[in-house]
Amino acid sequence: MLTFHYVPILCKPRNYLINISGFLSQSYLLLACIDRYLISANESSYRRINTIPMANRIIMFTIMFWLTILSHKLVYSNISSPHQFCFYSGASYTFLISLHNLILSGSILSILMATFSILTLKIIRQIRRQTRSCGRRHHCADLFPYRFFF
């Protein structure tokens, strides 16, 4: 029985789609972290750009970005002749792919997610402190946009 591993025409799209889905899922998590930060930010200009049409454009850009950046995987995925298994051709390319995945997926995207998450938590803590003091002073009208956090 033939599987994806042994059919050259299926080998390339399989590797490509696996990598695309991994990077897209991490990118969407990053975009969600950025969205939470923009919603919680006190700057009205941040909230003004945080709209559904802008989100649609950013999502389309993200998809096109990863489709383009990872397109080299369509070229360099092949069936290895001694093993008859789907591999990347060449040891140097395999090393570069590992480095590429480590830097992008393991470092940059993760650091950005952590950064925006920490910034969001700081803003939420600041809002909670203001809300607690607001309860004592009875002037909460300026905190209306943030009531959904509590």
Give the model confidence (pLDDT) of 139-150 as tens digits: 555 554 554 544
Does residue 143 sit within a domain? no
The confidence band for 127, taking pLDDT boundaries of 50, 70 and 90, is: confident
Name the DSSP letter for residue 1: -
Q: Which residue has the tokens 């930060």?
A: 37
The pTM (predicted TM-score) of the whole model is 0.77
Determine the Cα–Cα distance for residues 150 and 146; give it in Å rounded to an integer.
Answer: 8
Tokens of 1: 């029985």
Does residue 57 sit within a domain? yes
Tokens of 147: 């009531």
Contact between residue 15 and residue 9 where contact means Cβ atoms under 8 Å apart:
no
Q: Which residue has the tokens 């925006």?
A: 116
Does residue 113 sit within a domain? yes
Determine the Cα–Cα distance for residues 127 and 121; give it in Å rounded to an integer.
Answer: 10
Does residue 42 sit within a domain? yes
Range of the domain at 95: 8-138
pLDDT tens per residue, range 23-55: 999 999 999 999 999 988 888 888 778 889 999
> What pLDDT does residue 6 have?
62
The confidence band for 82, taking pLDDT boundaries of 50, 70 and 90, is: low
> What pLDDT does residue 142 have?
54
Does residue 35 sit within a domain? yes
Does residue 122 sit within a domain? yes
Closest CA to 37 of 112, 111, 117: 117
Does residue 13 sit within a domain? yes
> What pLDDT does residue 150 have?
44
Q: How many domains does the chain have?
A: 1
Does residue 91 sit within a domain? yes
